[in-house]
A and B are shown apart, each in its own frame.
Chain A
Amino acid sequence: MMAQASPWYRRLGGGALPAILLLILMLGIYAAYEPSALTSFGISNLLNNAIVLALAATGLTIVVLTGEFDLSGAGVVAICNVMAATLSMGAPGSMGTLGLVLLAGLLVGAINAYLIAMLGLQSLAVTIGSLIVCQGIALIILPAPGGEVADAIISGVTGDLLGIPIAGIMFVALALAWTFLKNTRWGLAVYAVGADPVASRLSGLNVPTTKFIAFVLAGLCYGGAGFVYSAEIGSGDPRISDSFLLYMFAAVAIGGTSLVGGRGGVLGSLIGVGILTVMQKMLFAIGVAEFYTNIFNGLIMIAAIFFGQLSSLVARIALRRPA
């Protein structure tokens, strides 16, 4: 069934087509209200706003595809942010900070991975635990907002390369990396494990290792997100906004990734990130007060998942007919 030729939009990851249409619609409305939206400055601004969430949502997508949950992302971003704000001006320098931040993400991912993949604990509860621990560690490292991120990091992340915004390059890199990973042995195993763990185990796939790698990669992505986030805001804040977690899940859900695993992909999530980012810009440009965006966020999230489930139901019925 996997080898079956499918139309190009199907290959983007299940229910991504409505998401693309929604993104185009929102971009259109945004551009109508804000003429500078489609200038090179406007686009690079948009990309810079979206890239943190894109990195985090990529990590989360990989975990969700295996049929698990991961709430620790917001905590890892908080730790990495305060690390960058306290370390980057000192001895480690900007490249050293990047290394340490990624290492921190990797470490949290590996701990989650061990507890969930190897010991078989329930992922939601474990990652709630590690989320709280991470938030605590971030508060211990930097009790109050402050610190400073080295200019080299800020200009390196928010700048251009040959006229192309770095954030845009990262977007493309994420998409390419996933397209490559998806077709590796491990990538195929991720989909199989998410779709049916028992069948995967019986057909000889190593389920724990597949999940382990997924959580570690996710941790790495969160670390990257934390680093880029630090560059965007230029300082440290131990209390990253609560809604970041919701955005991560919303991006994954809007992008058509099934929350029970096995269906979807990173490309869809990147589109989901685009929708969420443009939606906020659009609401702001129209003049909707900021607190209403909370309401929109919650509602779009529920709607996205609801329609995601509906589309899987439709797909199941459509599959049944020819057989």
Chain B
Amino acid sequence: MIQNKQTTAVDDIAGFEKSVARQWLRSDARPAALVLLATVALIVSMKLVNSEFGSLNQLNAILITSIFLVVASFGQGLVILTGGIDLSIGVVMGIGGMIIAGMTRGSDDMLIYALPTALACCTAIGVINGIGVAVAKLPPFIMTLSSGTTFFGVGLALTAGSSQQAVAPALQQFMSGSWLGLPLPVWFLILFAVLATLVQNGTAGGRKLYAMGSSPGAARVLGLPTTMLTIAVYGASGLCAGIAGILLAGYSSSATLDMGNALLMPTIAAVVIGGARVTGGAGIYLGTLAGAFFLSTLSTVITIMSLSQGLRSVIQGGIIIGALLLQSSRSAQRR
């Protein structure tokens, strides 16, 4: 029956948008489609203004620079899904990159040890966040803000704040190489997006997170291991931030401790504009992915048009508030 409605629906979307849209798209996928559409519109309108914009190389460049946001905001999305927030992502990215740069020192020999070390350290920071939130019952944003500051201090104490040597050449080659005509990072991005969608929306663990986010009390009554799930989610967020940091270090061929800070707020923006509810329990990874693409495109546009970097923040913040307004009006309609 849904199939039939789908075919008839496509004809008159314009007329009955509100009633029909629910049938041809799952309601939680609508923001994703909307944001993706906005991204395409942004690229097309830029192409009209500036004909040099939108070459294949440039689109690839946009995709490659979006990879950090795509990876890091998966973790942020999982945390937000449970009703929390992770403000340590920027610092963890820096730490991940610094460990890689510090251990490999411009050669590939140590990379095999450096990768697991960096990822383990980043996951450990996430796990500490999770313990603080789940066991010590600290408010998530306080716990993550504090641990971020603390570990930034630790990083600063151990290093001088920036890596003295380049990262392993293999990592740099990975970020600039290509296979079958597509850049390697884009392959990675596709693989990551598929895996992330499967984990968040296709596994029992993912479903449990939704249950926990929409009603923590009910989840506990039902016997879900909420403490372990919370710790796992923050650990996953740390892991994702670590991966993003390693990729970022490979992309810029060196690392600084504060290189991830600029990406913290965009991870939140990507999740929120992707349709996730900030109080938890709603939102799909596809939305976050679309949000990350949109923000990355926007960033490129602002750079190309040499607009003030401040404008980027204004737009980003405005988008977050706009998305919240949109969500609240949607939920008001439903009532």
Q: Measuring CB to CB, which residues of chain A are less than 8 angstroms from any residue of chain B?
A: 69, 115, 119-122, 124-126, 128-141, 143, 238, 242-243, 245-246, 249, 253, 259, 289, 291-299, 301-302, 305-306, 309
B316 touches which one: A132, A245, A289, A292 (CB < 8 A)? Answer: A132
Contact B153 A132 (CB under 8 A): no
Between-chain CB contacts (< 8 Å), 28 pairs: A69-B141, A115-B324, A120-B328, A122-B278, A124-B85, A125-B268, A125-B320, A126-B324, A129-B317, A132-B317, A133-B313, A134-B317, A135-B310, A135-B317, A138-B310, A140-B308, A140-B311, A243-B149, A249-B145, A295-B150, A295-B154, A297-B150, A298-B151, A301-B142, A302-B132, A302-B136, A302-B146, A309-B137
Given contacts A119-B325, A140-B308, A140-B311, 8 further A-B contacts (CB under 8 A): A121-B328, A136-B311, A253-B142, A292-B157, A294-B149, A294-B150, A295-B153, A297-B150
In the complex, the answer to whether B272 meets A125 with C-beta atoms within 8 Å is: yes
**Contact, CB under 8 Å: A136 / B324:** no
List residues of B whose CB falls within 8 A of some A CB: 85, 132, 136-139, 141-143, 145-154, 156-157, 261, 265, 268-269, 272, 278-279, 308-321, 324-325, 328
Q: Which of A126, A299, A309 contacts B150 (CB 8 A)?
A: A299
Contacts of A125 in B (CB 8 A): 268, 272, 278, 320, 324
Q: How far is the CB of B150 from chain A (nearest CB, A)?
A: 3
Inter-chain contacts of A238 with B (CB < 8 A): 310
Q: Which residues of A contact B150 (CB under 8 A)?
A: 294-295, 297-299, 302
- Inter-chain contact A246/B149, CB cutoff 8 Å: yes
Q: Complex: how many Å from CA A130 to CA B317?
A: 6
Contact B314 A121 (CB under 8 A): no
A245 touches B145 (CB 8 A): yes
Of the residues B143, B317, B318, contact of A302 by C-beta under 8 Å = B143
CA gap between A138 and B311 in the complex, in Å: 10
Q: Lowest 5 CB-CB distances: which A-B pairs, in order?
A: A136-B313, A294-B153, A139-B310, A298-B150, A132-B317
Shortest distance from the beta carbon of B8 to any chain A beta carbon, whole Å: 36
Complex CA gap A143/B148 in Å reads 27
Main secondary structure of the interface of B (DSSP, over half): helix
Q: Are B312 and A301 in contact (CB under 8 A)?
A: no
Q: How far is the CA of A243 from the CA of B90 in the complex (A)?
A: 13
Q: How many A-B residue pairs have CB under 8 A?
A: 137
Chain A residue with the shortest CB-CB distance to B154: A295
CB distance from A80 to the nearest CB of B (A): 15
B308 touches A143 (CB 8 A): yes
**In the complex, A306 Cα to B157 Cα: how many Å?**
26
A255 to chain B, nearest CB (A): 14
A129 CB contacts on chain B under 8 angstroms: 317-321, 324
Query: Which partner residue on chain A sits nearest B331 by CB separation?
Result: A120
Q: B152 touches which one: A128, A139, A294 (CB < 8 A)? A: A294
Q: Are A306 and B154 in contact (CB under 8 A)?
A: no
- The residue in chain B whose Cβ has the minimal distance to the Cβ of A122 is B278
Contact B328 A119 (CB under 8 A): yes
Contact check, A122 vs B308: say whether CB atoms are below 8 A apart: no
Q: Is the CB of B156 within 8 A of A294?
A: yes
Beyond A253-B142, A298-B146, whether A126 also contacts B310 by CB under 8 A is no
User: Are B149 and A131 in contact, with the CB atoms below 8 A?
Assistant: no
Give the complex CA separation of A121 and B320 in angstroms.
Answer: 12
A299 to chain B: which residues have CB within 8 Å?
146, 150
With A294-B153, A297-B149, A302-B143 already in contact, the answer to whether A122 and B324 are too (CB < 8 A) is yes
